[in-house]
Structures are given as C-alpha cells and as structure tokens.
C-alpha cells in the first residue's frame, strides 16, 4: 500500500464526505413540519419541480411553506396566519376577465407630472368605487405610463373602458378653464342673483352650489365687482391637462416657538424648537371631460387655514450653567380650519359656482400699516367672508370670451366626497 501524505488524505476525505453532508444539511433545513411523513413527502415533491403548489385542498394550520431562495429552500411565510401559494390561474368565480388598455398616447401629451397614469387610476376608483376592488371579488388594477391592466367582472370593465376613453379621446388635450376665487364679507349678494342661479346638491354642511349660463355669470361677476367688500384671490385663467389635478396655492408659512430642547453643551442650556404653520388657502381642481366634450366632471378640494392668535406660555427651565432656573416663552397657536372635498358634474357650456360659506379669509387682511406690523397672530383681522369659487370651461380653439350657446339638460351632481 502506497503512502499518502497527511494533507492529501485530508483533502480526499473531504471530497468523499462533502456530498453526504450537504444532503443532510439540505434535508434538515427544508423539513420544519411537525406533521406526518406523508405531508412532508408532498411538500418535498412540490419543491423539486418548477410548477407552483396546488391551489386546492386544506392547508395545515400553522404549517406554511412558500417558495424560498434560488437554492430551493422552503421557509414558512407566516408564523400565525395560514398562507397557501396560489397557482398561475386567477380565480374567476364572478366571471372576471383580464384586459389591458393602451394609454401611451395620453401619457406622452402630459409633461407636467412624472406619473400621468396615476390620474387614470384615481378616476377609475372614483367611477367604480373603492369597495369594488377590496371585496369578495378577486380583482387587479395596475397602471404604467403605457397601459392599464384590469382584472374584474365585465360590468366593471365597461366602466373602466369609458374612463380610459375620456382620457385618450380627441377631447383629452390641455383645456383652458376660468377659475376665480373671490370673497365677499356679506352673503347678501344672493338676494339679487337668485333668479340667475340654478342650485345643485352638495353634501358638505354650510356649502352651496349652483350652475348658471355664461352670460348670466358675466352679469353676476360685474355686479359683485361693484361691491366694496369684493376681493379676488387668484388668476382667472388656467391651462389644465384633462384628468390631471392642478393646485392654486396661496399659503404663507408662519414660524413660531413650539417647544424647548435641552442642550447642556450650549449656553444657556437649552434652545428653542421652531414650528411652522402654512396659513392661507389651497385649492385643488381636477377636471375630466366627457367623451363628446358636452359635460365636465371635476373634483374640488379646498383647504383654508387661519392663524387667529398665539397663546404665550412661560416655562421654567432648569439648567446646569446657572444657579437659578431660566425662564423662557413658547407659543401655542389658535387655528381655524376649513376642509371641503366633493365632486361635481355640469354642462361644459355653463358655469359652476360654489359658495364655501362664511369661512376664514383666504389671505390675511389688515386695517392699517401699524396693525400689519404687529407680531404674528395679532396683525391680521380675523374676518369671515363668503368664499366663492367660479369655474368656467373655455372653448378649446377660441379665446376666452363669453359666448351664447343653447342650454343642455341639467347635469346630475355626484354625491359624496372623493
């Protein structure tokens, strides 16, 4: 028998025993079931093939296996809830069908946002209802900048197809809208304008809405401008992509001392913590034209924040750098909020007028230069005013002028908040 050096013998032994050791290790890492051998054999067969596990049959409570890493290891997907890996076929117990809608043409036209497809998803959810995608019916709604993928019943697919057509149709270009935000201190303007206004239903308490013809809207606007308490807060002309939201922002940041942070390493042992309040109004307008361009759907979201005053609070701060406690002041803001979010539908050749009621002024008002120079929360007059939002769709290929068109049937207002 030939003599083998010790090093070579050790390498030879490692090569002989390595496969068996790896097999034992793989077996011990895979089998974590406390059930019988039959269930373990079934799980082993499912991991040695490329096909997914069967989707029928009960699962063993607390014993869950899911596809593991590239080595084929099997690990529990949940320690509490039973989970079963589904196959390639989706359930279709309600007659669901899979469809893909091409929106690439629309997405190429919209350059104001990086994700134009999000507006399509939002309007689909508004039309179908959020609960339609989170109930017993298995459904899928996914969107990219090129297509929208939907898995749902044929009835829902019909609604989705109608929404997508409103985005990619011929009317789905940038559309000019006249959007005026005005405030009037006294709501008695309604007395003279009553004959021009046709009310529509609004769900938010204290809010009213009307539709009126464009020529009547011009007469009403001229009458309002003659009043001494008339104030206009926004530009009356906006270019909006069909279906995309646009925001009229009139917020002004206000800073104040909200708290004290202990800092032993600095003098006098603490430092103030600043807070910020965005005071003013923010209005979000998101219109969607009908396929024939005869009506407009729009969601209006309005937020008004007013800082009424600051309440000072004096604190005693113990410090290590002074023999006695330091006294400092923080501020607690007194704020009034107004929130509005609803959806409307009205004829494209008419004007929508929404009154938010007597709410805080969108922009702070002052009575004099001296009062305006007072500290934060004391210089503004905390007035309430009737906040009006007037929305008018402009003709796409003509300048923004008032035109006379035959009236169409009264639009139905969508109820609820969106």
257-300 pLDDT, tens digit per residue, is 999 888 877 777 788 999 999 999 999 999 999 988 899 999 99
Q: Is the pLDDT of residue 374 over 50?
A: no
pLDDT confidence bin for 337, thresholds 50/70/90: very high
pLDDT for position 94:
92
Look at 240 and 404; give whichever has higher pLDDT: 240
Segment 39-50 mean pLDDT = 40
Residues with Cβ within 8 Å of 403's Cβ and at least 6 positions away in sequence, in order, are: 214, 349, 395
Judge whether 157 and 97 are in contact, CB under 8 Å. yes
Lowest mean pLDDT among 77-81, 95-99, 174-178: 77-81
Look at 13 and 406; give whichever has higher pLDDT: 13
Judge whether 40 and 27 are in contact, CB under 8 Å. no
Which percentage of the chain shows pLDDT scores above 70? 67
The average confidence (pLDDT) of the chain is: 77
| Count of beta carbons in the 10 Å neighbourhood of residue 263 | 12
Query: Phi and psi of 315, rounded to 5°?
Result: -115, 145
At CA 302, angle to CA 107 and CA 349, rounded to 5? 65
pLDDT for position 325:
74
Which percentage of the chain shows pLDDT scores above 90? 49
Pairwise CA distance, residues 55 & 57, whole Å: 7
Q: Is the pLDDT of residue 369 over 90?
A: no
Q: Is the pLDDT of residue 413 over 90?
A: no
102 forms bridges with which residues in the sheet? 147
Q: Is the pLDDT of residue 368 over 60?
A: no
pLDDT for position 58:
41
pLDDT for position 2:
54
Q: Give the CB-side neighbour count of residue 46, counting CA atoms within 13 A.
A: 22
Pairwise CA distance, residues 286 & 299, whole Å: 5
Q: H-type helices in 180-259, by residue range? A: 190-193, 214-225
pLDDT for position 6:
58
Q: Which regions of 218-269 does DSSP assign to beta strands (E)?
A: 230-232, 238-241, 246-262
pLDDT confidence bin for 78, thresholds 50/70/90: low
pLDDT tens, residue by residue, 146-165: 999 999 999 999 999 999 99
Q: Is the pLDDT of residue 51 over 60?
A: no
Look at 24 and 279; give whichever has higher pLDDT: 279
pLDDT for position 321:
60
Segment 367-381 mean pLDDT = 42
Pairwise CA distance, residues 173 & 289, whole Å: 10
Look at 389 and 266; give whichever has higher pLDDT: 389
Q: Is the pLDDT of residue 75 over 60?
A: no
pLDDT tens, residue by residue, 347-359: 999 999 999 999 9
Buried b (16+ CB within 10 A) or exposed e, 366-402: eeeeeeeeeebbebbeeeebbbbbbbbbbeeeeeeee
pLDDT for position 327:
85
* All structural domains of the chain with their residue ranges: 97-168, 175-393
Look at 23 and 297; give whichever has higher pLDDT: 297
């Amino acid at each position: 028998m030939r003599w083998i050096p010790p090093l070579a013998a050790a390498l030879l032994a490692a090569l002989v025993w390595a496969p068996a050791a790896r097999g034992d290790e793989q077996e011990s890492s895979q089998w974590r079931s406390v059930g019988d051998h039959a269930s373990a054999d079934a799980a082993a067969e499912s991991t040695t093939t490329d096909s997914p596990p069967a989707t029928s049959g009960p699962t063993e409570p607390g014993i869950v296996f899911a596809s593991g890493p590239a080595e084929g290891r099997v690990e529990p997907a949940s320690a509490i809830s039973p989970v079963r890996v589904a196959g390639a076929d989706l359930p279709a117990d309600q007659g669901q069908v899979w469809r893909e809608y091409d929106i690439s043409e629309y997405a190429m036209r919209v350059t104001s946002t990086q994700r134009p497809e999000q507006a399509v998803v939002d309007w689909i959810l508004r039309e179908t209802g959020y609960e339609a995608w989170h109930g017993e019916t298995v459904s899928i709604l996914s969107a990219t900048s090129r297509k929208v993928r939907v898995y749902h019943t044929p009835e829902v697919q019909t609604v989705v197809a109608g929404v997508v057509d409103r985005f990619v149709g011929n009317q789905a270009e940038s559309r000019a809208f006249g959007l005026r935000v005005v405030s009037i201190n006294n709501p008695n303007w309604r007395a003279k304008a009553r004959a021009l206004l046709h009310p529509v239903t609004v769900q938010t308490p204290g809010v009213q809405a009307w539709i009126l013809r464009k020529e009547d809207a011009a007469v009403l606007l001229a009458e309002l401008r003659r009043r001494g308490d008339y104030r206009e807060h926004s530009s009356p002309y906006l270019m909006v992509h069909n279906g995309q939201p646009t925001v009229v922002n009139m917020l002004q940041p206000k800073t104040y001392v909200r708290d004290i942070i202990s800092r032993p390493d600095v003098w006098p042992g603490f430092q103030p913590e600043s807070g910020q309040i965005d005071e003013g109004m923010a209005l979000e307008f998101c219109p969607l034209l009908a396929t024939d361009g005869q009506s407009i759907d729009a969601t209006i979201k309005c937020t008004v924040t007013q800082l009424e005053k600051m309440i000072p609070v004096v604190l005693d701060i113990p410090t290590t750098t002074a023999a006695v406690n330091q006294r400092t002041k923080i501020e607690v803001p007194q704020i009034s909020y107004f929130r509005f979010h609803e959806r409307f539908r009205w004829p494209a050749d008419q004007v929508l007028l929404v009154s938010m009621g007597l709410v805080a002024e969108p922009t702070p008002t002052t009575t004099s230069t001296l009062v305006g120079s007072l500290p934060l929360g004391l210089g503004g007059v905390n007035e309430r005013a009737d906040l009006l939002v007037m929305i008018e769709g402009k003709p796409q290929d003509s300048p923004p002028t008032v035109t006379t068109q035959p009236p169409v049937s009264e639009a139905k207002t969508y109820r609820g908040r969106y």
